[in-house]
Amino acid sequence: MDMRVLISGASIAGPTLAYWLTQRGAQVTVVERAPALRGGGHGVDFRGAQMELLRRMDLLDAVRARETGMGEQRVVDAGGRVRVRMPSAFFSGEVEIGRGDLAQLLYDRTSDDVEYVFGDHVAAIDQDTNGVDVTFARGGARRFDLVVGADGLHSGVRAAAFGPEERFRTFLGYYQAGFTMPNELGLDHVGLMYNEPGRGVMVSSGRDPAVAGAGFVFSSEELSYDRHDRAALVEIVRRRYAGAGWEVPRLLRALDQAPDLYFDALAQIHLDRWSQGRVALLGDAAWAAGPGGSGTGLAMMGAYVLAAELDAAGDRGHAAAFARYEAAVRKAAAVGHRQAKGAGGFLAPPTEKAIRRRDRGYRLLSNRILLPLFNRITAGAANSLTLDAYPHESAAARTNA
């Protein structure tokens, strides 16, 4: 593949695509808006066919070396008494790693072969039949053969090439905040969840006993705020959790100090097409589903398929490759959308009655007889996109063989 490709976004989808494109001969630049690689985030799990992707990237051992090793998840009441215990497979799949650790692994795997530009972003895109002229916010302009937006829910490439975010975003009625904090609760490979109507709190500690990951999910009307104003985000969470019981006051104090706060709406992105000419979208930028929608695994699988299709189509075949990539990944994205729709109500049920109903469901599912069925359903979702149709080697390697 003799192509110059610009990828916007250096989290999960972007570096995975960069890896597979450089493996297949392309020259890749990744531009990331943040000044450095962003750490933090929830644990992300892999199941079923997604495990094969980690093997093909020769990443499985490295992921296992950093896996969270999370054990059971417990629902607790205001006094800390355990109401329900759920086995780790519920949330942690076959292997689970922190999102930030995964991003770091992907960056380390690609940084020798890929040009990374931090602290900049695409300001304008102007394409013709032979290439794409990109103007960067810091002032430079460069020409590429293709541009891929892997820049998440609030994608700048999508805004530049497809239109404003509001046109494609569906708000699901909830917000989430996540951050790391000292493991003050002394958790040992265990996660705790506490609920009051419309608000949920999760805290867990896995691989690093000194550190815990905290998460808040709460129902809300759509709020207007500046995404980049940390103090405003903290204030939103503080207000929403005022007066909450259990260990919530302690978690709110930790929130003030958190080095890596992530705050966003639970929202989905729906687009009629994932490409416009020489510009394509990948991962959350194209099909964000929200928590529970297999977003990380599918972003990586989609990156693999996109690189394989571009490689198979040859240097002038990007339009066909984009169409085939979209046809291959759409069904799995739709499964993710369906799965994630209920996540807010599940993590933060609206009433006491709904909390109790959710807990009864948990108890049933963790029953030994039903657990295999639950595992089959989650693996089925992860298997809605497989790599069977995609050979491991590049088109060039197959021609030379």
Ligand X SMILES: Cc1cc2nc3c(=O)[nH]c(=O)nc-3n(C[C@H](O)[C@H](O)[C@H](O)COP(=O)(O)OP(=O)(O)OC[C@H]3O[C@@H](n4cnc5c(N)ncnc54)[C@H](O)[C@@H]3O)c2cc1C
If DSSP codes are grouped into helix, strand and coil, which group holds residue 32? strand
Sheet with 275-276: list strands edge to edge: 115-118, 27-32, 4-8, 146-149, 279-281, 275-276
For ligand X, give the closer residue by CB, 202 or 308.
202
Residue 10 binds ligand X (CB under 6 A): yes
Cβ-based neighbours of 251, under 8 Å, separated by 6 or more: 181, 201, 203, 214, 216
Integer angstrom CA distances of residue 248 from 39, 155, 185, 233, 266: 24, 33, 12, 17, 21
Minimum Å gap between C-beta 49 and ligand X is 17
Alpha-carbon distances of 84 from 188, 213, 241, 351, 356, rounded to whole Å? 17, 20, 23, 18, 10
CB of 298 to ligand X, least distance (A): 8
Nearer to ligand X, 40 or 173 (CB): 40
Indicate the residue among 174 and 194 with the shorter CB distance to ligand X.
174
Nearer residue to ligand X within complex by CB, 48 or 98: 98
Distances (CA, A) of 103 to 39, 47, 48, 178, 293: 8, 18, 21, 16, 19
Shortest CB 21 distance to ligand X, Å: 15
Using CB under 6 A as the binding rule, the residues of this chain from 95 to 154 that contact ligand X are: 99, 121-122, 150-154
Which lies closer to ligand X via its Cβ, residue 146 or residue 394?
A: 146
Residue 7 found at the interface with ligand X (CB under 6 A): no
Q: What track of x and - describes contact with ligand X for positions 12 through 41 (by CB under 6 A)?
A: xxx----------------xxxx---x-xx
User: Where in 166-225 is the site for ligand X (CB under 6 A)?
Assistant: 176, 178
Q: For residue 84, give the amino acid letter.
A: V
Looking only at residues 252 through 311 of this chain, which bind ligand X when binding is defined by CB under 6 A?
A: 262, 283-284, 291, 295-296, 299
Whole-angstrom Cα distance, residue 127 to residue 367?
A: 56
In the complex, the residues that contact ligand X under the rule CB under 6 A are 8-14, 31-34, 38, 40-42, 99, 121-122, 150-154, 156, 176, 178, 262, 283-284, 291, 295-296, 299
